[in-house]
Structures are given as structure tokens and as C-alpha cells.
Copies of this chain bind each other. A is one copy, B any other.
Amino acid sequence: MELEVAVAKISKWSVRESGDTLEMIERPHGGLSFVLVDGQHTGKGAKQISNLVARKVVALLADGVRDGAAARAAHDYLYTQYDGKVSAELHIVSIDLVSETIVISRNSHCAPIVGAGTTIRAINEPSDAIGVHRRMKPTITEIPLAPQTTVVVFTDGVLDAGVRSGDKFDVVQFVAEKLSDANVSAQQLADAILARANELDRGRANDDTSVLVIRVVPRQAGDAARRLSVRFPIE
């Protein structure tokens, strides 16, 4: 088996800086964690918040702290720093090679989508943002690292795409359609979701928009190499 992870993110239309932050960190006992944070509001202020939270979580995970504890600590930190007045939505998605699971810890109203083969479902238990309530705990979902497993996590730029024009994005339906092609790659799926969200917003993204896709696929490369690739436009 092989793991494919893809992220695609754009900022709100006409805003230079995305308020979403995505960080990746190697887990000290094996595997990787992805931390996706959506800071309150947009632009520079939101970026500072999401950066602060992501940094805190990444530092804790790198020290071997468990995901749930890292999410709680990030909440306490944000709550303390801003006196409960600033919120952030936080997703921690970990590929844990020890337990052989994908663990999704979420403090966000954006329900992740998980699937085995073409059967998919949204994990839509209620979940609150961090930073504003006195007590908070993440919603944690653990799924086995099995062939054809798919995990899709996104920020509210996806969830609310098209709301302005009354043409709301049915992400679950969209992902189900895409997964009917078993060969769709994580990158293709992430790109397609981002493109569809942007299309529903008439090419002017209504909010910072980030998509993270993880897929377990049959092994392709002949070697045992790990590969990372990043692409982004510069002026």
C-alpha cells in the first residue's frame, strides 16, 4: 500500500494572505501529522491566529504529545492569550504508523468526509471551535489504514462555497462522484474540490479555502522512497 496526501489552498478573493495555516510534522514514533487551522476573520489578523495555533500544536506533536492533548493545549493557550475573545477552527489529521490508523481530531463545524472504497460518510457530530469556551474537547475519529480509505478535511471556504449565490456545495455528493473512479489521486480529488468551490463562488472565493485529502492506494513507485512536493505561485 501507499499513502497519498494532497493539500490545495487559496485565499479569499482579493485578500493577499490566507487566514488558513497548514503544517505538516513527522511524528516521533512514525507517521505524519497534518495540522489545518482556520483563524477567525480573514487576512493578516486571521493568519497570525492560525499560525500561532498551528505552531503550538506542531511543537507539541513533535514532542510526542497525543493529538487530543495537543488540541486541548492549543485551546487553553488561545483562550488564555486572547481572553476567550478569539476563535480558531482546528483539524489535526494524523497518519499513525504504530496504531495503523488515521486519527482525525477536530474542533470545527466543517464535517470531514471519510470513505472506504466508494462508500463515504460525513463525520458530523457537533464540534466547537477552540479559543472561546472555557472548556473544550476535540471530536476524535479513528479509522484503520486500509486500502481504498479516503479522508477529506476542509475549511469553511469549501463548506460555504456558493452560499452567496444560493447554489450550495454538496461536498459529500461531489466526493462520492469523484470516488466512483477508483484511480482518482489525492491531488486530483483535492484540486477538483477546490476548483468546484471556486466555481460555485463564481471564481471569487468567498473565504479562505483549504482542502486536505488522504488516500490509501496500491503501491506505485518501485522504490521505498518517501516523496514530498510543494508548488506555489510567486510574483
Contacts and interface: CB of A to CB of B under 8 A. Distances in A.
Contact of A22 (B6, B10, B54, B228): B228
A125 interface: no
Contacts of A32: 230
Interface in A89-117: 97
Number of copies: 2
Interface stretch (A56-64, A75-83, A129-137, A161-169): A56-64
A43 B2 CA distance: 22
Interface stretch (A23-31, A65-73, A171-179): A23-31
A194 B225 contact: yes
A75 B224 CA distance: 31
Given A26-B51, A97-B234, A223-B10, A229 B4 contact: yes
A22 to B, nearest CB: 7
Contacts of A8: 225-227
Task: Give the interface size class of chain A.
Answer: 35 or more
Given A3-B231, A97-B234, A232-B2, A9 B226 contact: yes
A85 interface: no
Given A6-B227, A8-B226, A228-B6, A221 B234 contact: no
A3 B63 contact: no
A145 interface: yes
Interface of A: 1-11, 17-18, 21-26, 28, 30, 32, 51, 54-55, 58-59, 62-63, 97, 145, 186-187, 190-191, 194-195, 198, 216, 219-221, 223-235
Given A2-B233, A5-B228, 20 more contacts: A1-B234, A3-B232, A3-B233, A4-B231, A5-B229, A5-B230, A6-B227, A7-B228, A17-B30, A23-B26, A24-B230, A32-B230, A55-B63, A58-B58, A97-B234, A187-B229, A198-B223, A220-B231, A225-B233, A229-B229
